[in-house]
């Protein structure tokens, strides 16, 4: 299976490539007044307005630094009603791909209620790489903000 690798605060994480539509360079985002800190802004993506969520903020409490390696991963997010929604994930240091087999993964030994997006781990070159679930990264409190405007059956 193919994965995209990124780092936050020196820790390595991966996303399944099948959840990603496209990786785009960081672009200026339209700010959203009074939005939660994890909502980085709105992106004009091929003529559509797409909300962009700051993964660094969700995972570490610090906003992503805008570096040359910062990217926006356009994801195919499936909401709780089964609707497919395009959401951008702002990620710094998203620079590598990796291929792993399902059998390479093991349980981390930790299950955090506040971090349901953290999945199994791989030990690769003496470092730990943790799988992040795109489906679980969006906090429950954000669902009304991000999906309220989407009509049922869309």
pTM as predicted:
0.82
**Is 43 contained in some domain?**
yes
- Is 152 inside a domain boundary? no
Residue 138: inside a domain: yes
Decide if 64 contacts 91 (C-beta within 8 A). yes
Tokens of 122: 């791989």
* 148: confidence class by pLDDT, cuts 50, 70, 90: low
- For residue 82, being part of any structural domain is answered with yes
Distance of alpha carbon 27 from alpha carbon 146, whole angstroms: 20
Token pair listed for 136 = 């679980």
Task: Domain of residue 6: give its range.
Answer: 2-147
CA 99, 23, 120, 79 torsion-angle sign: negative
Provide the domain count of the chain: 1
**Per-residue pLDDT tens for 22-52?**
999 888 899 888 888 889 999 999 888 899 9
Report the C-alpha gap between 90 and 72 in whole angstroms: 5
Q: What is the CATH number of the domain that holds 26?
A: 2.40.50.180
- Asked if residue 154 is part of any domain, the answer here is no
What tens digit of pLDDT does each residue of 88-145 get? 999 988 878 888 898 888 887 777 776 767 778 888 777 888 888 877 777 777 777 7
Rounded Cα distance, 10 and 35, in Å: 28
pLDDT for 114: 67
Residue 119 lies in a domain: yes
């Amino acid at each position: 299976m193919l994965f995209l690798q990124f780092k936050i605060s020196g820790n390595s994480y991966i996303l399944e490539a099948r959840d990603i539509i496209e990786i785009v360079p960081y672009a200026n985002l339209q700010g959203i007044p009074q939005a939660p800190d994890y909502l980085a802004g709105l992106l004009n993506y091929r003529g559509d307005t797409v909300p962009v969520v700051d993964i660094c903020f969700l995972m570490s409490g610090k906003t992503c630094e805008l570096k040359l390696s910062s990217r926006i991963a356009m994801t195919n997010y499936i909401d709780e009603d089964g609707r497919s929604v395009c959401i951008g994930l702002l990620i710094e240091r998203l620079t590598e791909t990796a291929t792993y087999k399902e059998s390479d993964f093991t349980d981390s030994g930790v299950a955090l209620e506040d971090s349901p997006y953290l999945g199994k781990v791989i030990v690769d070159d003496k470092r730990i790489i943790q799988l992040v679930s795109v489906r679980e990264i969006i906090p429950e409190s954000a669902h009304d903000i991000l999906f309220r405007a989407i009509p049922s059956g869309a």
